[in-house]
């Protein structure tokens, strides 16, 4: 801004040096007078040209209406002749349409002449000829419908219809000729207005060139300033984009690391629960069994309490086993992905009292990708049991060659994916897991139409060996 102010001040000083104050005081009123004169000439020329253009438009509308009227009369005459000669009612359709539109076209023609201030006498004469022609055609039509062959043929052989049609064409030609004269007059008026405008433009051309030159100088200065500002903004934008990309990559790495740490902690906690808590529960169960064997039948009440304690320990062992499997599925490491998914869906069906259908193909995935798909199905089933209110669930794993597709579908109440709250991290966690393995996650859902979650992951290169056949579809009843 300081540079622009200095440049503008220097230009002002130069103008004051080359043009004294007295010349500036004379040139300004002359420029204003020239501008006012140009405005007055342009306004006058505009008004005259507008009237001429309006007249030309009315003339073109008159021609168009006349051509439409002639076409309607021809359509009516053609349709009537077809009916008279063949007796087929299909020929009456264009006749009836044309007859119904003729009066409307005549009204349009009258309105054009009234708005343009023209003479209505030629239009009245044209209306009379049209009415006579319509009456002659209507008479022929009635005679034909009545079966009076001689009468309608006599009317057809006479020259009455031709005379009426020639009169319509002649009167239309007169109206078209009058409209052509009005077009010529309007064009002359427009040319005169243009010549007057040229004179006004020539008067102000010199002043306009000087003002344009000064404007270019100022515009160039402003353009240079804007370009410099844009360059600064672009550099700042590029820097911010690089920073955002860098931070995004860092956050993605951190999220992946935290996910791996979480899995490691789950594995460590699962081992601790399996080794330590499992040993304690098993030892307690053995002690209870030993005490029961020593008591025999001497203390029925104590034996009953020990039986209840045994059942409680069995429930604790089952709960421990389920928690361990949720934390780190041992079946995934020992049996593979397909048996693990079958076990997971079967236990979910029993626990949630739902019908789960599975269709699992043998796939070739890395262990990390297998764990990702297992966690996705686990998270999806958890969400279904909490929110979906579904009756049927489908889990489909397909081998597509270069990639693997996993779909989890339910028939529940669905939701709007665009309105998922920021506190709902389930879908975000699924998406991050899948994208971290080079895949994509797609969620399809509508309120009342269920939900479908699809994940695609790249598969490993095929290994030459006898592959396992894909498992047939299975339905797990609750």
C-alpha 362, offset from chain centre: 39
User: Three-state DSSP class for 360?
Assistant: strand
As a whole number of angstroms, the distance between CA 340 and CA 358 comes to 12
DSSP codes of every residue in 455-474: EEEEPPPP-SS-PPPPPPPE
Ramachandran angles phi, psi of 422, nearest 5°? -70, -20
Please identify every stretch of the chain with a pLDDT value under 50, giving residue numbers as ranges. 1-6, 8-9, 11-12, 15-25, 464-469
**Partners of 453 in the β-ladder:** 408, 443
- pTM to 2 decimal places: 0.44
User: DSSP alpha helices (H): ranges in 384-420?
Assistant: none
Residue 11 phi, psi dihedral angles, 5° rounding: -65, -40
Q: Encoding tokens for residue 350?
A: 């029993």
In angstroms, the CA 312 to CA 276 distance is 18
How is residue 409 written in tokens? 């579908």
The C-alpha atoms of residue 384 and residue 444 are separated, in whole angstroms, by 14
The H-or-E segment that residue 298 falls in is: none
Q: Are 401 and 363 in contact (CB under 8 A)?
A: no
Token readout for 30 is 């002359």
In terms of Cβ atoms closer than 10 Å to its own Cβ (0-12, 13-18, 19+), residue 415 is: buried
309 and 277 Cβ atoms separated by less than 8 Å: no
The sheet with strand 474-476 has its strands ordered as 440-445, 451-458, 403-410, 392-399, 355-360, 474-476
| The predicted structure's pLDDT at residue 478 | 52
Count of C-beta atoms within a 10 Å radius of residue 447: 10
Look at residue 350 in the predicted model and tell me its pLDDT: 87
Strand 440-445 relative to strand 474-476, pairing:
unpaired
Q: In this predicted structure, what is the pLDDT of residue 466?
A: 44
Give the length of the chain: 478
pLDDT for 14 equals 52
Among 311, 341, 316, which residue's Cα sits nearest to residue 329?
A: 341
């Amino acid at each position: 801004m300081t540079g622009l102010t200095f440049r503008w001040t220097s230009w002002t000083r130069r103008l004051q040096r080359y043009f004294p104050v007295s010349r500036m005081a004379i040139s300004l009123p002359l420029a204003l007078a020239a501008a006012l004169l140009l405005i007055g000439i342009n306004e006058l020329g505009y008004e005259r040209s507008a009237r001429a253009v309006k007249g030309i438009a009315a003339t073109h509308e008159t021609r168009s209406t006349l051509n439409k009227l002639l076409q309607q009369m021809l359509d009516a005459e053609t349709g009537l002749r077809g009916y008279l000669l063949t007796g087929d009612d299909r020929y009456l359709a264009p006749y009836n349409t044309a007859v119904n539109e003729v009066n409307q076209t005549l009204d349009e023609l009258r309105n054009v002449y009234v708005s343009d201030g023209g003479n209505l006498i030629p239009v009245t004469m044209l209306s009379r000829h049209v009415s006579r022609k319509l009456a002659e055609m209507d008479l022929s039509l009635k005679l034909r419908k009545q079966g009076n062959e001689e009468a309608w043929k006599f009317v057809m052989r006479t020259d009455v219809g031709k005379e009426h049609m020639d009169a319509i064409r002649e009167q239309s030609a007169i109206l078209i000729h009058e409209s052509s004269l009005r077009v010529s007059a309007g064009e002359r008026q427009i040319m005169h207005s243009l010549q007057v405008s040229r004179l006004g433009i020539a008067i102000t051309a010199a002043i306009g060139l000087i003002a344009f030159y000064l404007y270019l100088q100022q515009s160039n200065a402003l353009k240079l300033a804007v370009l410099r500002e844009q360059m600064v903004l672009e550099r700042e934008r590029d820097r911010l984009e690089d920073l955002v990309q860098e931070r995004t990559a860092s956050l993605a790495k951190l999220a992946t690391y935290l996910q791996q740490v979480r899995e490691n902690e789950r594995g460590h906690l699962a081992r601790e629960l399996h080794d330590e808590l499992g040993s304690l529960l098993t030892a307690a169960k053995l002690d209870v069994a030993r005490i029961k064997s020593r008591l025999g039948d001497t203390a029925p009440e104590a034996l009953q309490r020990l039986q209840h304690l045994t059942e409680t320990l069995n429930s604790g062992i089952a709960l421990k086993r389920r928690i361990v499997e949720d934390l780190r599925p041992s079946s995934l490491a020992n049996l593979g992905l397909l048996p693990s998914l079958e076990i997971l869906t079967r236990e979910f069906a029993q626990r949630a009292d739902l019908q789960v259908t599975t269709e699992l193909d043998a796939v070739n995935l890395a262990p990390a990708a297998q764990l990702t798909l297992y966690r996705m199905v686990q998270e999806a089933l958890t969400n279904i049991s909490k929110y979906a209110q579904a009756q049927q669930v489908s889990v489909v794993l397909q081998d597509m060659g270069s990639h693997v597709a996993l779909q989890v579908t339910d028939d529940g109440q669905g939701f709007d994916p665009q309105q998922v709250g920021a506190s709902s991290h389930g879908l975000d966690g699924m998406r991050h897991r899948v994208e971290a393995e080079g895949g994509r996650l797609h969620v399809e859902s509508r309120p009342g139409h269920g939900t479908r979650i699809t994940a695609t992951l790249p598969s490993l290169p095929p290994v030459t060996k006898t592959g396992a056949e894909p498992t047939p579809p299975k339905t797990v009843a609750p």
